[in-house]
Amino acid sequence: MLSERRSAASGALRLKPLPSFIGLLDWAGVIPFLLFILLFLILPSLYLFVGSFQDSSGRFTLENIRALFTPTIMSAYWVSIRISLLTALLGGVFGFFLAYALLSEETPTWLRSALLTFCGVASNFAGVPLAQAFIFTFGRMGLVTVLLREAVGLDLYEMGFNLYSFWGLSITYLYFQLPLMVLVITPAIEGLRREWREAAENLGASPLQYWWYIGIPILMPSLLGAMILLFGNAFGAYATAISLTGGLINLITILIGNQIRGDVLHNPNLGYALALGMVVVMAVMMSLYYLLRRHSERWLRQ
């Protein structure tokens, strides 16, 4: 009887392995994602790179790259970088404080759910609808502008406010930047354990010391990553800016649209070079994020 059990066990151990094609099924769910990356990221990036070094006839040229350093184009990059940095910093800081307030124990559950739902909607509300909403609200004949002027005699535009300016566009961008920051940073704040705060308080640490030595170092990689996301979100925005300002502000995305779709300034290859410059800017920002993240992680290990 014992020998029969041993022979059965040895036979089970000598079972043939499953066919190799069954292991390929593990990759079946990844194939659509890989195709998406190939069709909408890799191939367009290669086409963009090649087109940047070609003229309208397909011949190799460096004129498009040289044109990137002209004053008009450099100014467009600088304005786009400024507005992206400003909205990323303001949206990141105030979004962090709002997310922390929402997760506070004193905040009612219904209010937290309502605000998180609103953030989910507002973070995707951009483009032409957002621009029209701000024009109807804060334009020269907008609802809020007229109410302030007629009710309290306060004229925003006489005081220097202009919705169709750099600061007006920045305020418009913050409408979707701040909610996006709330959605991104909320899981990171929820990851802070209550035991860490209690241990710090038991050792005599003040709330400021807790955040400076524990909370901020732990959240720093998430904060930096979220702000880089906000920077890229504003840096690549096009529909909101063109609908709100009509091209009055010299943004790099508007220049690209003029070169690719315009009738007068039609030069698609220069547009490809402008987009390649945007890729370089984002690569620099990602490199800075990597360096700052390494620094914050090294600070956390000390």
Residues in CB range of 210: below 8 A, 6 or more apart: 196, 197, 200, 201
Answer yes or no: is pLDDT of 299 > 60. Answer: no
Please tell me the pTM assigned to this model.
0.84
Chain centre to alpha carbon of residue 195: 32
Structure tokens at 7: 């022979």
CA distances from 198 to 107, 161, 247, 270, 282 (A): 20, 47, 53, 58, 40
pLDDT grade, residue 105 (50/70/90)?
A: confident
Structure tokens at 133: 């909403």
- Express each pLDDT in 268-295 by its tens digit: 899 999 999 999 999 988 888 888 777 6
User: Which residues face 54 on adjacent strands?
Assistant: 60
- Express each pLDDT in 227-254 by its tens digit: 999 999 999 999 999 999 888 899 999 9
Query: Rounded mean pLDDT of the chain?
Result: 86
Q: Is the dihedral of CA 47, 50, 53, 56 positive or negative?
A: negative
End-to-end alpha-carbon separation of the chain, Å? Answer: 63
CA 297 to CA 291: how far, in whole Å? 10
- Express each pLDDT in 70-95 by its tens digit: 999 999 999 999 999 999 999 999 99
CA 224 to CA 80: how far, in whole Å? 19
CATH class, domain 71-128+157-301, is: mainly alpha
Each domain of the chain, given as residue ranges in start order, spans 29-61, 71-128+157-301
Work out the angle between the directed axes of helices 109-122 and 71-102 (0-180°, nearest 10): 160
Q: What's the 3-state SS for 155-191?
A: CCCCCCCCCCCHHHHHHHHHHHHHHHHHHHHHHHHHC
CA 10 to CA 177: how far, in whole Å? 64
